[in-house]
C-alpha cells in the first residue's frame, strides 16, 4: 500500500492518548476486541525488553487479550529513534489495513504519536563526529551549553521553543538534535521545517483520556507502589552497569540509580519517582491538549459511549 493516498481514505487509525496511569491500555484492549483489530503501542519506553516493570508493560493477560505490536521488541543496546519507529509503524499499519481498515494506536509518547499521524520533516544525515563533540561538551558544560548554542545558531527556533514549549529547553536529547543539525549542515534547524508534506493512508480518530489532577496523582502513586512490589528495584539493579544508555535516562530508573549509588535513600528515591512521574504526566497533558481534533473523555466514561462515538466516525 502506498502512503500517498488522500486523507479521505477509508482506513481509520484510532489513537488513544493521555497521561500515564490513566487507563489507556484497558481502553485500547476493549476497542481492539470490539473492532477486531490490532494495537500499535506508541510508548517510547515499552519498546525495550530489558525495561518491563518500570515502563508498565501490559501484563500477560492484557497481551493475550489483543494482538500488540512494538512492545519489548528492541534492546536498550540498539540505537532506536523516533524516525525508526515512524518508518516501522507505518509499514506495520500498511500490513494491518489489508486485513481490517480500522486499527488502534495507544501511548503517552507525544512525539512518537505525532511521528505516525503527521510525520516529520526531512533532515540530512549528520556526521557522527559532530554528534560526539556535542555530547562531550554537554557532559562537561551541561544543559546551559546546549541552550546557549541553540540561541546562537538558530535564534528563531530558540524563541519558538521558549514561547510554546519551554520544557524542551531542558530536554538534552532534543536540544542535542537541534544543534547537531545546525552544526552538521551549516543551516538553522528551523530552515528544514515545513519543507515536505507527509501524507498518510489513514485518517486518525484521536481519543484523549483524562481525570482531575487529584485522581490522576493518586493513580500514579498507586502504580509506583505496585511497581516496587513487582520488583522494580531488582530490575533497576540489573541495569545499573548500563545507566549511561539513552533508554535508561527516564523516570523510575534514574532515581533508583541514585539510590544504588548512595546519593539518596530508598524512601527518597520512591518519592522522587512519584513526583517526577506526576510532572511527566502534566507535560503529557500539555502536549496532548495541543493536539488538534482530539476528543476528550473522563477515564471513567462509559466505554459503550466511546465505541458509539468512534463508530460514527468510521
Measured CA to CA in angstroms, residue 163 lies from 144, 167, 242 at distances of 18, 10, 36
What is residue 4's predicted lDDT score, i.e. its pLDDT? 40
Say which CATH number the domain at 155 has: 1.10.20
| Consecutive 10-residue averages of pLDDT for the chain (314 residues) | 49 97 96 97 95 95 96 93 92 96 95 89 80 92 95 94 90 92 90 74 96 96 97 98 93 97 98 96 92 94 96 94
For residue 40, the 8-state DSSP code is E
Please report whether residue 303 resides in a domain: yes
Q: 43 with 103, same domain?
A: yes
Annotated binding site for ATP: 18-25
Q: 167 with 240, same domain?
A: no
Q: 104 with 225, same domain?
A: yes
Please report whether residue 6 resides in a domain: no
| Residues 31 and 205: beta-carbon distance below 8 Å | no
Q: Contacts from 217-223 at CB under 8 Å and sequence distance 24+?
A: 217/278, 217/281, 219/21, 219/22, 220/20, 220/21, 220/274, 220/277, 220/278, 220/281, 221/274, 222/21, 223/20, 223/21, 223/56, 223/277
Please report whether residue 265 resides in a domain: yes
Annotated binding site: 18-25
What is residue 5's predicted lDDT score, i.e. its pLDDT? 40
Q: 93 with 19, same domain?
A: yes
Please report whether residue 156 resides in a domain: yes
Range of the domain at 223: 12-120+198-313
Distance separating alpha carbons of residues 67 and 38, to the nearest angstrom = 5
Q: Cell triple for residue 141?
A: 558544560
Strand 68-69 to 102-106 pairing: unpaired
Of 145, 169, 192, which residue is a domain's last? Answer: 192
Q: 267 with 156, same domain?
A: no
Q: 103 with 137, same domain?
A: no
Strand 102-106 to 12-17 pairing: parallel
What is residue 196's predicted lDDT score, i.e. its pLDDT? 58
Q: pTM score, two decimals? A: 0.78
Annotated binding site for substrate: 20-25
Q: 183 with 51, same domain?
A: no
Measured CA to CA in angstroms, residue 167 lies from 88, 212, 286 at distances of 28, 22, 11
Say which CATH number the domain at 60 has: 3.40.50.300
The total number of structural domains in the chain stands at: 2
Please report whether residue 75 resides in a domain: yes
Q: 142 with 218, same domain?
A: no
Q: 99 with 155, same domain?
A: no
Q: 177 with 210, same domain?
A: no
Measured CA to CA in angstroms, residue 279 lies from 16, 216, 220, 276, 282 at distances of 20, 11, 11, 5, 5
Q: 248 with 102, same domain?
A: yes
Q: 168 with 235, same domain?
A: no
What is residue 7's predicted lDDT score, i.e. its pLDDT? 44
Please report whether residue 255 resides in a domain: yes
Of 192, 221, 238, which residue is a domain's last? Answer: 192
Please report whether residue 3 resides in a domain: no
Please report whether residue 168 resides in a domain: yes
Of 163, 192, 221, which residue is a domain's last? Answer: 192
Amino acid at each position: 500500500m502506498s502512503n500517498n493516498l488522500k486523507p479521505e481514505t477509508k482506513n481509520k487509525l484510532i489513537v488513544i492518548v493521555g497521561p500515564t496511569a490513566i487507563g489507556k491500555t484497558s481502553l485500547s484492549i476493549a476497542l481492539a476486541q470490539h473492532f477486531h483489530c490490532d494495537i500499535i503501542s506508541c510508548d517510547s519506553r515499552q519498546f525495550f525488553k530489558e525495561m518491563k516493570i518500570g515502563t508498565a508493560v501490559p501484563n500477560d493477560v492484557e497481551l493475550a487479550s489483543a494482538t500488540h505490536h512494538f512492545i519489548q521488541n528492541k534492546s536498550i543496546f540498539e540505537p532506536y529513534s523516533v524516525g525508526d519507529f515512524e518508518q516501522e509503524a507505518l509499514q506495520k499499519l500498511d500490513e494491518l489495513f489489508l486485513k481490517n481498515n480500522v486499527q488502534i494506536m495507544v501511548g503517552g509518547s507525544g512525539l512518537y504519536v505525532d511521528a505516525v499521524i503527521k510525520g516529520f520533516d526531512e533532515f540530512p544525515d549528520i556526521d557522527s563526529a559532530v554528534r560526539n563533540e556535542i555530547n562531550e561538551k554537554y557532559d562537561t558544560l551541561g544543559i546551559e551549553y546546549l541552550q546557549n548554542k541553540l540561541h546562537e545558531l538558530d535564534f528563531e527556533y530558540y524563541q519558538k521553543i521558549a514561547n510554546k514549549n519551554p520544557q524542551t529547553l531542558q530536554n538534552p536529547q532534543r536540544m542535542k538534535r537541534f544543534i547537531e543539525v545546525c552544526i552538521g549542515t551549516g543551516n538553522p534547524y528551523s530552515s528544514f521545517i515545513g519543507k515536505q508534506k507527509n501524507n498518510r493512508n489513514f485518517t486518525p480518530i484521536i481519543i484523549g483520556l483524562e481525570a482531575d489532577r487529584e485522581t490522576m496523582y493518586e493513580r500514579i502513586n498507586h502504580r509506583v507502589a505496585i511497581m516496587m512490589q513487582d520488583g522494580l528495584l531488582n530490575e533497576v539493579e540489573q541495569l545499573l552497569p548500563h545507566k549511561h544508555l539513552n533508554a535508561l535516562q527516564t523516570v523510575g530508573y534514574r532515581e533508583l540509580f541514585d539510590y544504588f549509588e548512595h546519593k539518596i535513600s530508598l524512601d527518597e528515591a520512591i518519592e522522587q519517582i512519584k513526583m517526577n512521574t506526576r510532572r511527566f504526566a502534566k507535560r503529557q497533558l500539555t502536549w496532548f491538549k495541543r493536539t488538534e481534533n482530539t476528543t476528550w473523555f473522563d477515564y471513567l466514561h462509559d466505554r459503550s459511549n466511546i465505541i458509539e462515538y468512534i463508530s460514527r466516525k468510521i
